[in-house]
Amino acid sequence: MMKDFLCLSDWSLADLEKMFALAKELKAKQKAGEAHKLLEGQTLGMLFEKSSTRTRVSFEVGMFQLGGHALFLSSGNTQMGRGEPIKDTARVMGRYCDGIMIRTYSQAAVEEFAEYCDAPVINGLTDMYHPCQIMADLMTVQEHKEDYRNLKYCWIGDGNNMANSWINAAAIFGFELRVATPKGYEADAAVIARAEKAGAKLIFTNDPKEAAAGADVLNTDVWASMGQEEEQAEREKAFVGFQINSELVKMAAADCVVMHCLPAHRDEEITDEVIEGPNSIIFDEAENRLHVQKAIMASLMAK
């Protein structure tokens, strides 16, 4: 098993499915009030360069439930914020902590940190990938659809870190993925090329309706991610027609599910009606961040 959890494509299908099984087990124990202190006495260092709600709370609560302790560190309040090299911080934190979770902008920074850190490193989000979110998404689909592999998935919106991660997942799990983005907002070309080389079933289009037709899973994210706020007005124009609304949901399979990694700009990339509607599994998806990340931490850190 790998030491770090930086990108979904680093992992084998077998190991990821073991994590899903563990996540399901840990969720059942938590719901039943049964102790599951697999990381008793251990510490997770959490480095945040980007603001967070779900990532911070789910990792911190998860470590507590596993019997360990989570330590919150904002990059602006560490020596990294004053110019200390990543490799120096990584060497030191790897000696203090049993695991590290990083939520930042640069994928290269996370990979450099992992290279020099003796403790396992988990990617809590970068501009390139969001692997923990994809794991939670797939766990949620599995709960609602049983066999999550033989489905038609649809991504509508920006070709961002979530789109890249869905493309990685399609290559690993073998499901069909349709990606609808406006021209000029496509997913990363290298990620696409690697997935296609691995035999991923990918369909790319600039027409959201084409992507949504008959789909089992509809998924989207904000049009302007953190760090892109100055592009908001420009993106709103480019993304006209890319909203997941009741009309688009009707084009999908009758029993389709709708997901969003949150936070959502209601009535922008997705309507309030859909978020609160019968097809939405968005808040189950948010909850499962807790359970799947506990499985990831336990898989990497349990002695």
Phi, psi of 298 (to 5 degrees): -65, -40
Q: Is 12 annotated as a binding residue?
A: no
Nearest CA among 268, 182, 173 for reference residue 217? 173
Whether residue 178 is annotated as binding a ligand: the answer is: no
Is 19 annotated to bind a ligand? Reply is no
The answer to whether 165 is annotated as binding is: no
Judge whether 178 counts as a catalytic residue.
no
Marked catalytic residue, from 137, 289, 291, 293: 289
Q: Is 161 annotated as a binding residue?
A: yes
For residue 221, say whether it is annotated as part of any ligand binding site.
yes
Q: Which of 107, 133, 243, 293 is catalytic?
A: 133
Active site residue 42: no
Reply yes or no on whether 7 is catalytic: no
Please tell me whether 52 is known to bind a ligand: yes
Q: What is the CA radius of gyration of the chain?
A: 19
Q: Is 103 annotated as catalytic?
A: yes
Separation of alpha carbons 157 and 180, rounded Å? 6
Contact (Cβ atoms closer than 8 angstroms) between residue 110 and residue 121: yes
Residue 4 is which amino acid?
Answer: D
Q: Which of 7, 97, 117, 261 is catalytic?
A: 261
Q: Other CB atoms closer than 10 Å to residue 266's CB: what's the count?
A: 14
Q: What span, in angstroms and rounded, lies between the C-alpha atoms of 176 and 201?
A: 5
**Contact yes or no for 134/163 (Cβ under 8 A):** no
Q: Is 261 annotated as a binding residue?
A: yes
CB 217 within 8 A of CB 151: yes
Tell me whether residue 54 is annotated as binding: yes
**55 in a labelled binding site:** yes
Is 130 annotated as contributing to ligand binding?
yes
Active-site hit among 221, 260, 291, 293: 221
List alpha helices for the chain, DSSP H: 13-32, 54-65, 86-96, 107-116, 131-145, 161-173, 189-197, 208-212, 232-238, 246-251, 272-275, 282-301
Asked if 144 is an active-site residue, the reply is: no
Contact indicator for 5, 135 with CB cutoff of 8 Å: no
Question: According to the annotation, is 132 in a ligand binding site?
Answer: yes
In the three-class reduction of DSSP (H, G, I as helix; E, B as strand; rest coil), residue 217 is classed as strand
Report residue 172 as tokens.
């690993």
Is there a catalytic annotation at residue 56?
no
For 180, the token pair is 């609808």
Annotated catalytic residue: which of 103, 178, 260, 291? 103
Reported as type and span, the H/E element at residue 43 is strand 43-48
Active site residue: 36, 130, 178, 235, which one? 130
103 is in an annotated binding site: yes
Q: Is 131 among the annotated ligand-binding positions?
A: yes
Annotation-wise, does 133 bind a ligand? yes
Feature table: binding site for carbamoyl phosphate: 52-55, 79, 103, 130-133, 261-262, 289
Just list the catalytic residues. Answer: 103, 130, 133, 221, 261, 289
Feature table: binding site for L-ornithine: 161, 221, 225-226
Feature table: binding site: 52-55, 79, 103, 130-133, 161, 221, 225-226, 261-262, 289
